[in-house]
Amino acid sequence: MSQTNTQQKPSTDAGTEALFGIVQLVVMLALVLLFLPLAIPLLAASLTGNRVARRQWFWVTHKWHPVVNVVAVLVVVVVLAAEGLALTRWIASGEARAFVQLDGWPLALLSSWWPLLLLNFLLGLLLLPVAWSWRRRQIAELVRTRKIPDVLTQEHIESARKRAADIVTARKLGLHLDARTGSLRPRAGGTPIVAPHAVPGLRPKAGGGRERVTLQGVGMIQRPTIRTIGDRMQDTRRVPDWTDDAGTFVVLPEAAGAIRVLQLAESGSGKTVLMHGAILAILDRGWPVFFIDAKGDPEDADKLAATAAARGYTVRVGEPWNLFTGTAAQITSKLMRTLPTSTGDGQFYNDEVQSALGAIQAHAPLTGMRDLFGRLAEPAAHVRDQAQLDMLAASVDRAGTRRADRVRDRLLLALGPLEPHLAASGWSFEDRSADLTIVPLSPADRAQATVGDLMLVDLRRWMSARLARREKSPAVVFVDEFAQLVTADSDPGDTAASMFETARSAGLGLWLAAQSVAGLSQDEAQRRRALSSGAALIFGRSKDPEDVVAFAGTVMRLEASGAATGEELRSARAQHTYVIPPDDVRRAAVGQFWVVQGGAIAPFRALPSPTPPVPVDDKSAPVATAEDPPAGDVDEEPTES
């Protein structure tokens, strides 16, 4: 019995040893086969660290990236599954048991399986895009929680992410953004999405339920290209009236009175392109538009006119304006603004003109310059009584000059330079004979600047008249470089705030554009009044953006201090910082804007203007009667999640 037990012991030890060898072989092969494909991605991630994230290309997403990730993972899984199946069959066949009983089997295994091991190692190249995606999301979360050890790298990464978002947004619109210069050009072989872009939406119906509506998009909202779970879990507020339900486009409000905009951006930042897109969108709604362009560039006016005419709208460009609209008192007020302001003895002559104008309009307001000077020449039929007639006929000097003649001479001197821009048959805000009225003015010409100032005065008069009549018919007025049209005795900030405060009640849209906050007013209180008037604030690139970004609000953020070399994170404290960093506004690309309204913010890129269908210098081009086909759907690029 003992002999039998003694003979079976070696067999049991050999079997145990073979089983242990097989287990060891399986575990070793499984670990090697599984982890070899991860060697290259892990090595690449460790070598690049966080510094590679300071480059904008690291954050730019592409359409092919998710597809490549899925294909790479599938290829690796298929290869590993095939290898696992082959390993299982090898073990089941008993060859593995015999193999591990050989002396030096680990070296023999390496010499026979090295092609397979090399294949698994090279599979790591396919997983580099996946590792890239994982690493971007990991760094994005560190940036969101501000845990990047190097404080300088933290700021550089945030800037790179914003530039990448702008590049991707421009690409979605069919444009190429030059990252070095910020300039735009159409992408080769692409069709840009132009303004106005039809955006579907849903709105509650009066009787209950919801109905489909079509909104007019003028910009595409910029989003981070890489959004972490923390970003997605955070509540974000939609800008009221100015964004669609999906948060993809900046759209125009559905009511004309809600289109109240103060736009601030320096020259060459794409301000005019955004305004032209908004004008075309409003025309598509069937509302009349008045565009007072104080840049005075006739080429811009001709391009807009040609585009609007090709879409089937009637356009008036550069036609004279009818100054003589409104009541007798309102006409008198406008005429008095053409005279130089005076004090002392000079004020006496201004009062004299005002009295004479009131006298000759006793029965009816003036209708034009010919009527004005005709009444001054023969005032008898136009005055209220003999006292007014005697006042106008009274001699005012030793030569026997009549008071009416002296008033006539002063008005001739003031109105003479304005005469080329005025006509009794010209356009007015009450005139709806054209869908779009474009008035290019050059503030460098004093006469044109004066006419522009009178137009703003008449605009305020028109708003008051509409309120008195309780008229709510929609219309929108655009004024580019409006601050240059306000005379020295007026304040642009006060003018803007007054018009914004009246426009909504009058059912009118008002879009005022200027180059800077400083241009709004010399007075700090008036500047703040204009900025906080309730109008939507849209701003783009500016060299002095602090006053503007302050209205976007602040956020409590953990600000860290670092070592002198900027390579070590040390103590930190929570403090309020601007939601929109001023340097982002200083470095904004062409066409990049922010809209601030109702306590919410939306960064966006203005949609490009449609190309004029006819040469802008072809004045004889016929007016198009067919509407343009609707813009195609947005070719959305996937955002990694």
pLDDT per position as a tens digit, 427-457 = 999 888 899 999 999 888 889 988 998 998 8
Query: Of 429 and 95, which is predicted with more confidence?
Result: 429
Q: Which helix (H) or strand (E) holds 232?
A: helix 229-233
- Range scoring the smallest mean pLDDT among 55-59, 526-530, 610-614: 610-614
Whether residue 363 is contained in a domain is answered as yes
Whether residue 397 is contained in a domain is answered as yes
Confidence of residue 16 (pLDDT cuts 50, 70, 90): low
Whether residue 395 is contained in a domain is answered as yes
**Mean pLDDT along residues 196-201:** 91
Confidence of residue 352 (pLDDT cuts 50, 70, 90): very high
Query: Of 25 and 259, which is predicted with more confidence?
Result: 259
Structure tokens at 334: 């406008």
Confidence of residue 371 (pLDDT cuts 50, 70, 90): very high
- The string over 348-375, giving b where at least 16 C-beta atoms fall within 10 Å of a residue's C-beta and e elsewhere, is ebbebbbebbebbbeeeebebbebbeeb
Over 60: is that where the pLDDT of 280 sits? Answer: yes
Domain boundaries, position 37: 2-139
- The C-alpha atoms of residue 256 and residue 26 are separated, in whole angstroms, by 74
In this predicted structure, what is the pLDDT of residue 85?
Answer: 83
In this predicted structure, what is the pLDDT of residue 33?
Answer: 67
Q: Based on the fold, state whether residues 429 and 550 are members of the same structural domain.
A: yes
Q: Based on the fold, state whether residues 84 and 29 are members of the same structural domain.
A: yes
pTM exceeds cut of 0.85: no
Q: Based on the fold, state whether residues 332 and 318 are members of the same structural domain.
A: no
Q: Based on the fold, state whether residues 371 and 443 are members of the same structural domain.
A: no
In this predicted structure, what is the pLDDT of residue 64?
Answer: 86
Whether residue 189 is contained in a domain is answered as no
Q: What is the pLDDT of residues 227-264, one digit of tens each?
A: 877 677 666 678 888 999 888 999 999 999 999 999 99
Three-state DSSP state, 575:
strand
How many structural domains compose the chain? Answer: 3
Over 50: is that where the pLDDT of 629 sits? Answer: no
- The string over 615-635, giving b where at least 16 C-beta atoms fall within 10 Å of a residue's C-beta and e elsewhere, is ebeeeebeebeeebeebeebe
Structure tokens at 539: 């701003």
Percentage of the chain exceeding pLDDT 90: 34
Q: Based on the fold, state whether residues 413 and 431 are members of the same structural domain.
A: no
- The C-alpha atoms of residue 421 and residue 213 are separated, in whole angstroms, by 42
Q: Based on the fold, state whether residues 449 and 381 are members of the same structural domain.
A: no
Over 90: is that where the pLDDT of 521 sits? Answer: no
In this predicted structure, what is the pLDDT of residue 440?
Answer: 93
C-beta separation of 244 from 217 below 8 A: yes
Beta bridge partners of 593: 604
Q: Based on the fold, state whether residues 30 and 90 are members of the same structural domain.
A: yes
Over 50: is that where the pLDDT of 624 sits? Answer: no
Q: Based on the fold, state whether residues 80 and 223 are members of the same structural domain.
A: no
Query: Of 13 and 157, which is predicted with more confidence?
Result: 157
Percentage of the chain exceeding pLDDT 70: 82
Strand ranges, E, within 450-534: 475-480, 508-514
Over 60: is that where the pLDDT of 543 sits? Answer: yes
C-beta separation of 301 from 441 below 8 A: no
- Range scoring the smallest mean pLDDT among 324-328, 482-486, 566-570, 619-623: 619-623
**Mean pLDDT along residues 377-405:** 92
Query: Of 324 and 492, which is predicted with more confidence?
Result: 324
Nearest to 630 by CA among 104, 38, 321, 194: 194
In this predicted structure, what is the pLDDT of residue 39?
Answer: 82
- Of 368, 396, 417, the domain-final residue: 417
CATH of the domain at 269: 3.40.50.300
Three-state DSSP state, 407:
helix
Residue 36 contacts by C-beta under 8 Å, 6 or more apart in sequence?
Answer: 117, 120, 121, 123, 124
Q: What is the pLDDT of residues 308-324, one digit of tens each?
A: 999 999 999 989 999 99
Three-state DSSP state, 85:
helix
Q: Based on the fold, state whether residues 49 and 113 are members of the same structural domain.
A: yes
Q: Based on the fold, state whether residues 461 and 542 are members of the same structural domain.
A: yes
Confidence of residue 615 (pLDDT cuts 50, 70, 90): low
**Mean pLDDT along residues 474-480:** 94
Length of the chain as a residue count: 641
Over 70: is that where the pLDDT of 201 sits? Answer: yes
In this predicted structure, what is the pLDDT of residue 533?
Answer: 80
- Of 100, 124, 139, the domain-final residue: 139
Q: Based on the fold, state whether residues 407 and 275 are members of the same structural domain.
A: no
- Of 378, 393, 417, the domain-final residue: 417
Give the helix ranges, DSSP H, for 532-620.
546-549, 582-586
- The C-alpha atoms of residue 148 and residue 529 are separated, in whole angstroms, by 40
Q: Based on the fold, state whether residues 568 and 437 are members of the same structural domain.
A: yes
**Mean pLDDT along residues 339-360:** 85
In this predicted structure, what is the pLDDT of residue 1?
Answer: 43
In this predicted structure, what is the pLDDT of residue 45?
Answer: 78
- Range scoring the smallest mean pLDDT among 104-113, 269-278, 368-377, 579-588: 104-113
In the predicted model, what is the mean pLDDT of the chain?
82
Quick one: DSSP state of residue 432?
-
